[in-house]
Amino acid sequence: MRTLKLGLILMLLVTLTGCWSKVELDELIFVYGLYIDSGKEPGTVEITISAPLPNRLMSGQQAGSGSGDGKSYATVSKTAATLPEAISLIQKDLTRQINLAHIKVVVIGKEYAKQGISELLEWFKRDPGFPLGTYIMASPGNAKEITQLTPIFEQQPSQVLMEFAAEKFMFDTTVKDCLLAEASGMGFAMTYLSFGQKSEVSEQGKPEFWAGIQGAMLFNKTKMRGTLKIKESKALAWAEGLLKYPLYSITWNDGKGAATAIFVSAKSSKHVTMSKNGPVFKVQLKGRTSIIYKKDFKNTNLEDEERLIVTTLQNIVSKDVAKAIQKTQEAGSDVLHLGLLMEWNYPKKWEKLREQWDDYYAHDADIKVTADFQIDDFGTEK
């Protein structure tokens, strides 16, 4: 019995081995932002990584470029024939190992987007350590320039961009969304950033670089097909069910009446029916709104005024969404994935349209938009 007990103890001790392949935290670089551009030489790509500097992330330290202790993050860029090669070149010059498991956002340059992002998506698919929930956005110029923005309220530029997506100011497109759209042959949209110097925001008397949102960039088959302005982008985001707290201001009776409405609920649904002329797609918007500003006018009661506000809002939003969808048709980018809706509901009809769907969507798709809104309250008005 004693021999048996000793044998069991020895077997248990064998399983208590150390971790032979461990990497200490102080040996890693956690990349939070990845910026992709076309290289200066044809057939090359430039990658820029943005990562925090642990030795400068001290409590109370000011973010941005004007801090006396320097920035709390660093950027490194390399150019190569492929994306993995560029990352390898960056790694070669670093004292710590690159870790992409905590990346927050990917930004692609406009020129790179025009050439197509298929290589980027292929890399994402094959790298098991890359989080598919990473947000992806587009830059108006070189993506690398975005790293110069001043993170006034955050510690790093990548955190600013991440909040743009997380707060649903426009699109919150992720790497996973792009991969699914590519696999299904559909289009997709992502937030299109703005970038420039802003004199109102200054550090040590110097204008700082500032990033914002100017609209959306449209893709089909991994290539950029066009862009939308802010108004159209907001409407398209609503049609996709992505917009949070949209706000609209309206006037009527030659400005005698006016109101501003903030939607506390903004939803959408998509349906398809078959007519003798082919499929008819219906995009329905639903919303509940709070009137946060109202300019009264005479000779109307509250019930008539409420009906007028709702009708006006429904007309304006429906027209904005219809115009945005028309823009996606002109770009040949089925952002709303109406083709998948057709496949799910009418698979036999879809088989006949599958090969020519891009052309059909651009020229023949019948898409109707309706809205159904209601007013929850008029602010604090009794």
- Whole-number Å distance between alpha carbons of 23 and 327: 50
Count CB atoms within 10 A of the CB of residue 60: 4
In this prediction, what percent of the chain has a pLDDT beyond 70? Answer: 82
Span 293-316, average pLDDT: 82
Query: Which pLDDT value is given to residue 58?
Result: 52
pLDDT at residue 65 is higher than 50: no
Q: What is the pLDDT of residues 146-183, one digit of tens each?
A: 888 877 667 778 778 888 888 888 899 999 999 999 99
pLDDT at residue 24 is higher than 90: no
Span 106-134, average pLDDT: 92
pLDDT at residue 69 is higher than 50: no
In this prediction, what percent of the chain has a pLDDT beyond 90? Answer: 53
**What does the mean pLDDT of the chain come to?**
84
Q: What is the pLDDT of residues 227-276, one digit of tens each?
A: 999 999 999 999 998 888 899 999 888 777 889 999 999 999 999 999 98
Span 205-215, average pLDDT: 77
306-336 b/e (C-beta count within 10 Å ≥ 16 → b): bebbbebbbeebbebbbebbebbbebbbbbb
Least confident of 21-30, 65-74, 83-92, 350-359: 65-74
Query: Which pLDDT value is given to residue 207?
Result: 66
Assess contact for 284 and 372: CB atoms under 8 A: yes
- Whole-number Å distance between alpha carbons of 339 and 224: 19
Question: What tokens does 321 get?
Answer: 């969404």
Question: What tokens does 333 get?
Answer: 């980018």
Residue of higher predicted confidence among 306 and 63: 306
Residue type, 89: L
pLDDT at residue 68 is higher than 60: no
Secondary structure of residue 306 in the 3-state scheme: helix
In sequence order, the β-bridge partners of residue 280 are: 273, 366
Span 38-60, average pLDDT: 79
Beta strands in 3-103 (DSSP E): 28-30, 33-38, 45-52, 73-80, 97-99
Query: Which pLDDT value is given to residue 210?
Result: 74
pLDDT at residue 307 is higher than 60: yes
pLDDT at residue 342 is higher than 90: yes
Q: What is the DSSP letter of 174?
A: B
Query: Which pLDDT value is given to residue 167?
Result: 83
Query: Which pLDDT value is given to residue 148?
Result: 84
**Helix-strand-coil percent breakdown of the chain, rounded to 5?**
35, 35, 30
Question: What tokens does 291 get?
Answer: 């009137």
pLDDT at residue 21 is higher than 60: no
Query: Which pLDDT value is given to residue 73?
Result: 77
**CB-based contacts of 111, cutoff 8 Å, min separation 6:** 37, 38, 142
Q: What is the DSSP letter of 144?
A: G
Q: What is the pLDDT of residues 135-150, one digit of tens each?
A: 999 999 999 998 888 7
Query: Which pLDDT value is given to residue 325?
Result: 96
Span 55-60, average pLDDT: 52
Query: Which pLDDT value is given to residue 66?
Result: 39
Query: Which pLDDT value is given to residue 101?
Result: 86
Span 332-346, average pLDDT: 95
pLDDT at residue 381 is higher than 80: no
Assess contact for 282 and 370: CB atoms under 8 A: yes
Span 117-135, average pLDDT: 90
pLDDT at residue 332 is higher than 70: yes
- Whole-number Å distance between alpha carbons of 269 and 47: 39
Q: In angstroms, what CA-CA distances link 103 with 50, 86, 92?
A: 9, 17, 20
Q: In angstroms, what CA-CA distances link 65 with 70, 72, 146?
A: 7, 9, 13
- Whole-number Å distance between alpha carbons of 273 and 280: 5
Query: Which pLDDT value is given to residue 59?
Result: 45
